[in-house]
Every structure is written in structure tokens, then in C-alpha cells.
Amino acid sequence: MRATETRTSQLSFFGRLADDLTRKVILPPDMIAVREKDGTPSLKKSDGYFAFADLAPSSAEYRIQVGGTAFQNRTVAKALPSVASIEVTFAGEDELYLTIVDVTAAQSRVTFDPIDAVPPVEAGAVVLGQSGFSATLVETLEGPNLTFAVLSSVAGLAANQLVRIIRSKNLLVRPGPYYSFPAGVTVVALKVVAGDQDGAPIPGARIDISKINGSAGSVVDVAGLNLNVFDLGGGPRSALLLDDDDKTATTNERGDAVFYIAGAKSITSVALTVSKSQFQSKTQVVNMIAKTRNTQKIVLAGL
């Protein structure tokens, strides 16, 4: 009798994608995860995990393109030092950024400006702050109009400091220009064209937020992650916190790009710097109406 052949695979990389706006896991068939080098698709699980198997260990980084229907694709890179599997995750992904308004030591509680709605952050989540602060979340954060969090410790925290609350290890993918944004989100939808208002669309143009409400912002290191702090006109309590990915976009093949800001922040203007090889860079101020969709066409002149 011929022995039954069996074949085993060695898991190399795995990860899970989530919507940057809602933080909901993106499930098959709406998710994309492929090796950038040859387009090899990942394995997909019903709970949203993707995986690549049987890759050779390499000190050079493997590049994986991830995204999904109505989302912007992004490329992530990870080395594979050995045959041990690696989760594809990075600092500053599925996190909640907060500016502390007040600290109540007796209740181990920090307060912050009201947040319209917070997807669940489970008790036990790691909380990181400036000057080496680290604690955990004692009570789950969830729901509308949240104003405080209870931590395992508040020693060393003070008003106007920044904290990061780590919700999960999920990789975030950003909604694209054709995403169906819910009501209450401040959106600026952009089209970049060449020469004049009727010019051809420019794909691959980089767009950076340089100012919000006239504020050029400042950079604060919070446990190794740079957060860009934009003062919206009311001091630290009204500041908008963005990581580097939040303030950069790239136009697609139709010349379209989008930025979005959830919540009650009062956004009145955004200054955008647009750059693309063979074109003159340009900074344009877009006047905004908060909690609505704002549109703007940006014209670049050739060199």
C-alpha cells in the first residue's frame, strides 16, 4: 500500500487590515494583500487575517501591497530574519491619540475634550505617553461623547500632554476618493490637473497638509512616534493630532485624492502643498466647512 503524502507549510507573514475611519476589520473579498514583487496573492481567512507561507528568510525586506475596495492601497515592508512567522504591524496604526485636559490622581483618571464616537478600545489596552509614561486602560472606552479614561496609573501625566492608546495590532488602510463617507466627517476631495482647469489629471502627485486653520503645527515625540499637533485656534485643548500618514496623500490614476477628519473639530481652512516631478510645486489654501464634503481642483504648471 502506498503511503499517503502530506505537505506542511511554514507561516511566514500574517496580519489583518482595518478601516482607518471606522476601525472595522476589512473582510474578504474586500481586502487586498499581495507581494509587490510578483503579485502573488496572500491566503485569506474569514476573520480578516491575511498570510504568506513558505518564504525564504531574508535580511532584505519583503514588500507587501495591502488595501481593499474603496480604500487606498499602501505598501508595507518587513524583513524575515528566520523561519519564525512575523506579524505585519507597526507603531501608530490602530491607536487613539489624545490631548489631556486634566488629571485626577485619586481616581486615576484623565479627561479630554469630548469625542463624537469611539470604536471599542478594550480594558487592558496599552497607554503610552511622553517622557516614558506607560500604563494600561482600566475600563473599556466605547460610544459617543466620551470625555475621560481610567488608567492603571497617572503618575507623571499632566494637562496638555499627549497620550497614545493602542487599540490593536491591525494595519490601517485609508478610505479612498470614492469611499462613502458617513455624515459628520470633514472631507476635502481633491483633483490635481495639468496646465489649466480643463487639463489632464496628474496621477502620483504627492499632497501634504502644511497648515490647518493657519497653524503650521509642531511635532511631538510620544513614545517614539511623531505626532503633528495643529492648534485650531483655541490652544492645546482644540488641537488636532495627526501622525505622518494622516497628513499625506497621493493622487490616483484619475488625479483624485482625499483627506478626512472625523469628529467635532472646527476646521476652517487647510493649506496643501502639492508636488510631482516635471511640475512646479504649489501650495493652495482650501477654505473648509466642517462636517461636510469640500471639493477643490488644483492646477500644476509644467517645468
How many CA atoms, within 13 angstroms, populate the side-chain half-sphere of residue 240? 27
Same domain, 183 and 295: yes
Interatomic CA distance for residues 127 and 112, integer angstroms: 14
Same domain, 102 and 215: no
pLDDT at 295: 97
Same domain, 106 and 189: no
Percent of the chain with pLDDT strictly greater than 90: 87
Segments forming the whole domain that contains residue 238: 176-300
pLDDT at 114: 86
How many domains does the chain contain in total? Answer: 3
User: What is the pTM (predicted TM-score) of this model?
Assistant: 0.91
Is 220 exposed, middle or buried, given 0-12, 13-18 or 19+ CB atoms closer than 10 A?
middle
**CATH code, domain carrying 207:** 2.60.40.10
How many CA atoms, within 13 angstroms, populate the side-chain half-sphere of residue 125? 23
In tens, the pLDDT along 176-235 reads 999 999 999 999 999 999 999 999 999 999 999 999 999 999 999 999 999 999 998 866
pLDDT at 7: 57
Segments of the chain scoring below 50 in pLDDT:
none
In the listed set 25, 57, 87, which residue is the last one of a domain according to the structure?
87
Same domain, 160 and 182: no
Query: CB of 34 within 8 A of CB of 74?
Result: no
Q: Is residue 269 part of a domain?
A: yes
Q: Is residue 53 part of a domain?
A: yes
- Residue 55 is given by DSSP the state P
| Buried b / exposed e along 40-74 (16+ C-beta atoms within 10 A) | eebebeeebbbbbeebeeeeeebebebbbeebbbb
pLDDT at 161: 96
Q: Is residue 55 part of a domain?
A: yes
